[in-house]
Structure 1
């Protein structure tokens, strides 16, 4: 399966996402803030990134913009993970370069479906 990077500052959310990914057969990298996530993305080139939007210091939208502007990481699909469920929030994630959007709390079937779509077809559900 794929190596997936989770960028999440909440330990409980990180553990849940990690457990779901491991149960699906993926290997997992994780970072608790955007800077560490950017470094891991550049160095490890994961197949996909789960990006929390509300991170300390640099938020997930700013981090995604940096990833998508960098030729080394621009190809990596990014799934926004957020508790914000307004239509404008979905549009903000799309404009930042996120390829998909999942509202917390995570539901495993939705998570697996979005990951499979992005890994198998490289088509953005937000496009």
Structure 2
């Protein structure tokens, strides 16, 4: 029995250091909003692939316009790659522009809940007539 007490007293507990915080805000989040935040926005991927495809399309356009290509099949392939690259790149950049604010919008909506509550609480706690306080 004394061995058990000695072993349990040998355990060292971690030291917990706490810094004071002037205020703490808790936000209530719905399951739907949590799912949106967890998945993140696909906008970054759209932007990356859009820039990539526009670069490829412009490179092939430059190659077709500046180099004399004797083989017709190669000219057609280069032209198709250029048109498809620029078209898909522009579409992806337009998608990025439309979807880039989805996660930010959800966060703003969540933060807006507490701002409204704080504003109404401050109005209740501040007296309207300073002369009546004294």
Q: TM-score range by the shorter chain?
A: under 0.3
Higher relative contact order (CA closer than 8 Å, sequence separation 6+): 2
TM-score in terms of structure 1 length? 0.17
Where is the helix percentage greater, Structure 1 or Structure 2? Answer: 2
Q: TM-score, normalised by structure 2?
A: 0.16
Higher Cα radius of gyration? 2
Q: Which has the higher strand share?
A: 1
